[in-house]
Amino acid sequence: TLDIVLNKIQSSDTADVSQLNAYTLENAEATVTNLALAVSTFYDIEVKQLYASSETNTLEVDSLTILPKYSKYEFSRVADKQIDRINTFIRHIKVSGLQFSQLRDSAFLASKIQIESAEVYSFRDKRMPFKETKNKPLPMAALKEMDFGIEIDTIQIKNSKVTYDEFAEEGFESGKIIFENLNATMNNVFNRSYYNKPAHATLSASAKLMGEGVIEATFILPFERDKPYQAKGKIGKLALQQLN
């Protein structure tokens, strides 16, 4: 269901009415409810509500769910290889300072993305054959490979949970590691270089490991391909039997 309001639409008399670029408008407001997308042969996406306003430069998503189409063990068998099966629920996403006018020029510019109360469950069955022939790019290299420009001052994750579950190649059952109360902030997320901005992104994160130990980490992610990534962190107050 789509509700949309467009205010003060203008176009020159000689413009082709079929061309969206021929129009200008003061602002727009839209609400999409009960959105369902089949994004690939392996995943569906469901969104309870999406709201966007060019007047306030905001985009908000209420209850986003990424659903695998196959069960835990069937997923990698359909893919016929080792592959991560990721089930995700995000209660709320808010994008602030979004420059809607730049989207027409294939650029995503925003001051802040805030993700609240996310829960991610990832499973990998290592008994399946490993068929990757190329190294996966590191985060900043992957950003640079995108076809559109990205400029985000801050990405913030609040009060979230990540579970990684794995069935070892010679295991008898799967084992999992859980990060709860996950909070993270990433600054300077760009895929273009600027002389007056930092030459790296910074990611700081903290979480409870297995419900008890506190883990804290900071990462430096350089934009230049030949620069090394840096990471430092610490774990404390963790009873070792929690890892058994």
Residue 162 β-bridge partners: 120, 179
Q: Phi and psi dihedrals of 141, rounded to 5?
A: -65, -40
pLDDT at 132: 86
Residues 163, 148: Cα–Cα separation, whole Å: 31
Question: Which regions of the chain are under pLDDT 50?
Answer: none
Residue 240: strand, helix, or coil: helix
| Alpha carbon distances (Å) from 182 to 12, 117, 176, 209 | 51, 9, 16, 9
What pLDDT was estimated at residue 14? 64
Paired residues of 158 in beta bridges: 116
Asked if 161 and 180 touch (Cβ cutoff 8 Å), the reply is yes
Contacts of 107 (CB under 8 A, 6+ apart): 99, 148, 149, 150, 151
